[in-house]
Amino acid sequence: MLEATGITLFEHSVLSFKNYFERESFLFIIRDKYDTKKFISEKIKKLGIKYFDIICLEKETRGQAETVFLGLKNIDDNESLTIFNIDTFRPNFIYPDLESKGDGYLEVFKGSGDNWSFALPVDKNTTLIRETAEKRPISNLCSTGLYHFDKVSDYKFAYLNYQEKPECEWEKGEIYVAPLYNYLISSGKKIHYHLIKRDEVIFCGTPEEYNDLLGM
């Protein structure tokens, strides 16, 4: 496992949520290859996460959204859900006021390019979202990869609807999380964005980003 500043990238990512290690439940969804489960179990113990579960998938999925869906099999539908990428760091993450975020939110920063998930607000005076898109720049609000759903049942509803679409209509040929919000929006749910500064998030999913991290 790659390291930076003396700890693994896995630890860097999970440490984003250290403020919640003693009170929130963490779910790690993995493929158990190369002793992945053993590695993660050891790191979870080291980090001191109190409540957790590890779900091992037997085969590759059709995208992050399916990975999450399969991992939620034994999770109560009324629980809330926050999704985060393991190749991203959010040092000292704190939830925003969730009561103001309606039925869910995407965390975003102002950026450019077409390699992000995007959120388009209803208008410039609100954080309500009209539409989300994957690798299609419909605005300058780029997702950090952190997605929140007020209820697991909402996520399942959106996923089951999206995966019924012909594969040729899946954005970029996979089932990503961001586009699922469109089903909730069209059903009357209130989805918001939460804006942070670009330097509050660190991406480490490519060799270039990893080298940049080592140079920080």
Question: How many Å apart are CA 98 and CA 156, to the nearest integer?
Answer: 20
Question: What range defines the domain where residue 9 resides?
Answer: 3-214
For residue 72, the model assigns a pLDDT of 98
Domain tally, the chain: 1
DSSP character string of 172-205: GGS--SGGGHHHHHHTT--EEEEE--GGG-EE-S
Strand locations in the chain (E): 3-4, 7-8, 25-31, 51-57, 81-83, 88-89, 104-110, 117-121, 129-134, 141-149, 191-195, 202-203
Computed on alpha carbons and rounded to an integer, the radius of gyration of the chain in Å comes to: 17
Which CATH number covers residue 195? 3.90.550.10
pTM beyond 0.85, yes or no: yes
Give residue-wise pLDDT tens across range 28-53: 999 988 899 999 999 999 999 999 99
